[in-house]
Amino acid sequence: MTPTASCDNLSGKTNKKSLEKLQVLGEPTRRWSTAECPSKGLQRTHHLPALRHNTESLKSTPRQSMNPSLLAKQLTSMGFNNKADSSLDNLLTVDSYLSGQKVPHQGLYRQSTSILPVQQNSIHRQSTQFFHRKRFDKSSPTPEIKSARSPTIILNEKSPLPYHEEESSHSENICKSTIDNEVAVTVAEETPAEETATIGPVVHEEFSTLFELQLADVRKALERKEDRKELLLNKNISEERMNVLRGKCDNLPPIPTGQVRLYLSGSVTDMKTERLGILKASQKVATFCRRAGIDFHIVDLRWAITADAQNEHNLTDLMKEELLRCKRLSIGHHFACLLGSKYGYRPLPSRICENHWEIIKKFTKDKSFEHWNLMQDWYLLDENNIPPVYILQPINSKLQYFLDSDIENADFRERDRKEWRQIYLKIRQLLVRVSTLAHAEGLFSDEVRRSYVGSVTDIELHLGVFENEFKTERSMVYDRTVKGLKTAENQNFMSIYIDTMEFENKTIQDWEATNAIKDLKYRTSKNLMGHNYRCYVTEFANQVLQLAGQKGKGNYIANYTSDFIEDCTHFIENCVESEHIEAQKDVEFNEILHHAIMCESLYKSSPIERTSVLKQIKELLLQEDPNRHPYAIYGESGVGKSCICAKIAKLIPDWLGEDTIVLIRFVATSTPSCNVIDLLHSICYQLSAIARIPLPKVVMDVSHLSKTLISLIKKIEETIVIILDGIDEIDNNQNAHELSWLPGILPDGVFIIVSLSDGVGSNSTIIRALNDKMPEEGCEENFLKVDRFNEEEAKEMIDYILNKKNRVLTPEQRSVIDQAISNCSNSLYLKLLMDEAVLLKSYNALDFKHVACNVRLAIGNLFKNLECHYGKETIKYALSYITVCRGGVTATELEDLLSMNDDILDEVYRDLHPPFEHYIRIPTLHWVRIRHHIDDFLLETHCDGKLTLTWFHKEFRKVVKDKYLTRLEDTIHKHISDMFLQESELRRTIILKHRKVTIENADRLIRPQKTIPGNRRKLNCLPYHLARSKEVNPKFLDIAKCKMFFSLKWIIAKFIAYCLDEVISDIERFKELLPVEGDIELNLIEETLKDCRNCENIELDPGTIPRFIYESLKDKTHFKNVESLINECENWVSADDKYKEKRS
């Protein structure tokens, strides 16, 4: 048998984009045996001319009117003799081709043996409109299929692909098995290696196309790298961009977040298998995204909802909050809903406004409804809210064993949980009756009624689809219907797949919920108008959901997940091709934009004017001084210096004129602002862009950058003000705290303002260095001290926070707060104090002895409360990861780190079993709940093109270090480096001690960290954390050699993402950790790369580095790591030569 061309190869050309996607996703590939192609390699037989010349008659015939037998004859005459190929179920690709639509996923990527080998799903599409959904405006012309892909070429581990993911040579087919009503997802057996066509050290003749594609990819990345260097110097620079560069902080554009954040909605029990299939498929999508420099993060708040999460009744609020965060942060699609036949859980409202309470009360009495006494018991009036609301009380406030995890109290716990279930049903029954009547009389709007009787899925769909102006571009819905549930033999399984209720000791169908889900599906499909809405139908027979489909119909789950992958990659491709992603890669400008956004945020965060300090600064800036020196603002930590710097930056145009250039940096709030070299380089870059002067190539050390800064300042005629907030936070590398890099005497029209905390240690060193730069006489006026708020300012700040949150305090509560601020009126202390105060209800008492008296104690109390709610191990590690991870931690990284930690998982799953067999992961909801408590103290910053979380204020870092990191810091570094070293899925046995359960080879669903240019986070963070794990990781040097310094894949990837100097710097930092005699292998690679920097065309020819390394080290192969590197280089050079020879 001879394999034929793939179904989308209609133009006779190779679609490079499709081939790239196929490689990254690891899709099934056609495997040729030696018997099929003994000497000619990977043969293909094309039927393309026949297809082209014989489709005219098909094009003129509408799909709906086609006669199946006639169509089969036409296909047979075109060369398709396979019976399966001529069936109507397999016309997907031809139909798409004739209509000019983009070929759907089943035709584009599934394994095939002819042009039309599409195995239709076991499901039946309810509507052609849904399945053949268009990805363009209905009024736009039909796009043509311009190109197609070739079959994937499978490479073995010796193949010369140093800068791309090493994809698996087999597909991971998700299969369904139902055992004792538990759903398990298994991975198919790997195809034996001898059956797979591979490419060894000698390059295969078919390799040239693939290698050409990847070389072009590298060259394109290098060209973009060069283009970005000149981007800010473009004479046609936009007005918006120039305003940012000049320090105008109004109407700022957002910084691209570098992530696709997808909120996963839908009920759990009936869509369990689909949910797991999508979570597994998301790993492939994440790999595809990472190649483009994007993070893909699924937010699934339904994974393992614990009793503790239900206790506070705030799950709906948290889900809304997280969905809106996904909408704000995601650069592509942000919402996906898995709709089954269940309407889902309908929560009780956590609060009821006073007006609605009176309506409910009136209807209850007029209609003599039951259970009003339960409403009064469980809802209490909170008059601290504006307007007053009735609050649903925590469950454990009345049922004390509801959260008790002690084994001795297991019976009491079960009793309380059953009791709560009955209370919930009674209150919900009352609210359903009343809200229905009130809605019918026009007293409740649709939205209000939904808040009382709607399911969580209904509420999420309204936020994600109905109230989303970009719903067709950013939302996806997968609708599945199950048939055959109502037969007698399946009665026991009904409650899994449809809503049921208890009636006279029998389980019957809940028709109210059934009608609600039908109505929801109708409204959703109508709202999306057929866009991004897929319908599926499957059957329930013999007490098993027919996930594998009927005979010959394909695999439902495999197709379900394939549809998800195709939809995601479609949305992501649109993002990659947009200017939005290119803007994300403009690292230098985004650094400037980050500080401008932070300046605007701080300016608006405080209503306190600080008139005295601002007046002093204004007078100093306006006075004539031929020998001007820097000005320093100082005060205790948390007193409000950053807000003052932000206010100065905003007021300077009014003081000095609209043309004044303002450069502001909040030191240590981003990676480039943490060290003096990157800080100076960023400032020089901004000045050169404003002046449209090419930034000269300078040696990246302090003295050269300082001279460059002075040179650029002198070339700009406008007034320049440079504000550096928190210079005491800068790393002391290259003796930065001695301030040799800060100009002492400033040119005319140039002002520098710095701020720092007063204190001892490094701060006193900086203060002495500043004193040395000041004039000998009258230097006191150059230092401005910031004091705490006075009593009037502190009360004004309290009122401002309360009004912003729509809260008030009772006289007793306000008295305690006023007493606390009389002892400490620090700005940060007030923020911490009021963060707790706004949560006080009017029926809560506040005791002064429980109120912390300073900032450190207040932060410590916050962390202690978190430990009580979420577990000591979870909080200890989560806060440590945020503190230690370089440049902050991304959401994906944090969840992966927590999921790799067995101590945390044992704590989280102490009274709950993981929802899927063989899989365990930290519930996303667990972190979302923690973040909700500390969100006001976290800063969203950007590192390596990714959105990361770090602490807003250094006091939090100090408390975390004192409380958790004294003995744990090296271990945290090892955890982080282990996470970045994980290039494939992580399966590891875990013992859940509290539950006395062992899960063998538990899959943690970790996102693989591939070594590619797009994964800048790994390239930047791995050397940093691996070096700092030396004390607890004796093999750190061997790992560094194997995975980084003697890996051509690493060298090329880091060269493309950064530069060769960065690789050399990493080697130098590791050498500093070694004994004086050093390491011979590291010396060899360091000297080789230093010499390689001077090679011609190194920036444009990716083959320069491996050729140079090969020629320099080919005689040193008696060293183990050198030999490995030489082999990689030899493979590259051999393939490159063959490619160039064929091109010539």
pLDDT digits (tens, 9 = 90+) for 657-715: 999 999 999 999 998 999 999 999 999 999 999 988 887 766 678 888 999 999 999 99
pLDDT band at 207 (very low <50, low <70, confident <90, very high): very low
Give residue 342's pLDDT.
Answer: 92
> Is a pLDDT exceeding 70 seen at residue 187?
no
Check whether residue 70 and residue 136 sit in a common domain: yes
Asked if the structure places residue 1110 within a domain, the reply is: no
**Separation between Cα atoms, residue 1126 and residue 1106, nearest integer Å:** 8
pLDDT for 577 equals 67
Tell me if 1130 is assigned to some domain.
no
Sheet holding 544-545, edge to edge: 295-299, 259-265, 335-339, 475-483, 533-541, 544-545
* Strands laid side by side in the 379-382 sheet: 351-353, 389-392, 379-382
Higher pLDDT, 117 or 582: 582
pLDDT at 217: 56
- Co-location of 627 and 641 in the same domain: yes
| 507: helix, strand or coil | strand
What was the pLDDT predicted at 1086?
A: 94
Please indicate, yes or no, if residue 447 is contained in any of the structural domains. no
User: What integer is the mean pLDDT of 777-784?
Assistant: 80
- Could you give the CA distance from residue 1105 to residue 1088 in angstroms, rounded to a whole number? 10
Q: Give pLDDT, residue 467.
A: 86
Per-residue model confidence (pLDDT) at position 763? 65
The reported pLDDT for the residue numbered 698 is 62
Cis bond leading into 387, ω under 30°?
yes
Whether 544 and 471 share a structural domain: yes
pLDDT (average), residues 521-527: 91
Report the pLDDT value the prediction gives residue 104, as an integer from 0 to 100.
Answer: 33
Are residues 514 and 619 part of one domain? no
User: If residue 1023 lies in a helix (H) or strand (E), which one and from where to where?
Assistant: helix 1016-1028
> Is the predicted pLDDT of residue 316 greater than 70, yes or no?
yes
Is 14's pLDDT higher than 50?
A: no
Phi and psi, residue 948, nearest 5° = -125, 160
Residue 500's DSSP bridge partners are 509
- Above 80 in pLDDT, residue 849? yes
- Kindly report the CATH number assigned to the domain that includes residue 530: 3.40.50
Question: Which residue range forms the structural domain that includes residue 304?
Answer: 251-345+455-580
Q: According to the model, what pLDDT value does residue 270 have?
A: 87
Judge if 832 and 936 occupy the same domain.
no
889 and 952 both lie in a single domain: yes
The answer to whether position 1092 is within a domain reads no
pLDDT of residue 531: 74
**Would strands 335-339 and 259-265 be described as parallel, antiparallel, or unpaired?**
parallel
Tokens, residue 737: 């705290």
Same domain, 708 and 818: no
Asked if the structure places residue 703 within a domain, the reply is yes
**Three-state SS at 408:** helix
Burial group, residue 331, by CB count within 10 angstroms (0-12, 13-18, 19+): buried
Q: Where are the beta strands (DSSP E) in 993-1109?
A: 997-1003
pLDDT above 60: residue 656: yes
Q: Are residues 751 and 837 in the same domain?
A: no
Question: Residues of 752-786 as b/e, b for ≥16 C-beta within 10 angstroms?
Answer: bbbbbbbeeeebebbbebbeebbeeeeeeebebeb
pLDDT score recorded for residue 545: 62
Q: What pLDDT shows up at residue 193?
A: 31
Specify the pLDDT at position 108: 26
Same domain (yes/no): 741, 679: yes
- Predicted confidence at residue 254, as pLDDT, reads 87
The DSSP-derived string for 326-389 is HHHH-SS--EEEEE-S-----PPPSEEEHHHHHHHHHHHHHTT-S-HHHHHHHEEEETTBSS-E
What is the mean pLDDT of the segment spanning 892-914?
A: 94
pLDDT of residue 82: 38
Which of 474-488, 570-584, 672-686 is predicted with the least confidence, judged by mean pLDDT?
Answer: 570-584
Q: Which residue blocks in 716-841 are alpha helix, DSSP H? A: 762-773, 791-804, 811-823, 827-837
Report which of residues 483 and 804 the model is more confident about. 804
pLDDT digits (tens, 9 = 90+) for 865-878: 999 999 999 999 99
Separation of alpha carbons 224 and 208, rounded Å = 24
How large a percentage of the chain has pLDDT more than 70?
A: 75
67-120 residue pLDDT tens: 444 444 443 443 434 333 333 233 232 233 223 333 333 322 222 222 222 333
Residues 763 and 796 in one domain: no
Task: Give the span between the Cα atoms of 393 and 379, in whole angstroms.
Answer: 6
On whether both 776 and 832 belong to a single domain, the answer is no
| 356-384 CB burial, b ≥16 within 10 A, e <16 | bbebbeebbeeeebebbeebeebbebbeb
**End residue of a domain, out of 806, 821, 851:** 851
Q: What are phi and psi of 187, to 5 degrees?
A: -105, 135
Indicate which CATH number applies to the domain containing 622. Answer: 3.40.50.300
In a domain, 82, yes or no: yes
648 and 575, same structural domain? no
Alpha helices, DSSP H only, in 632-726? 641-656, 676-691, 702-715
State how many domains the chain has.
5
Q: Classify residue 421: in a domain, yes or no.
A: no
Instruction: Output the average pLDDT for the chain.
Output: 78
Question: Nearest to residue 433, comparing CAs of 365, 364, 379?
Answer: 364
- Report how far residue 1006's alpha carbon sits from residue 297's, in angstroms, rounded to the nearest whole number: 11
Domain end: 731, 753, 784, which one? 784
pLDDT at 699: 66
In angstroms, the CA 591 to CA 683 distance is 10
Of the residues 980, 1008, 1033, the one at which a domain ends: 1033
Q: Could you tell me if residue 260 is inside a domain?
A: yes
Closest to 194 (Cα-Cα) out of 171, 169, 166: 169
pLDDT tens string 620-654: 999 888 788 999 999 999 999 999 999 999 999 99
Q: What is the pLDDT of residues 225-266, one digit of tens each?
A: 555 555 545 556 788 889 999 998 888 988 888 889 999 999
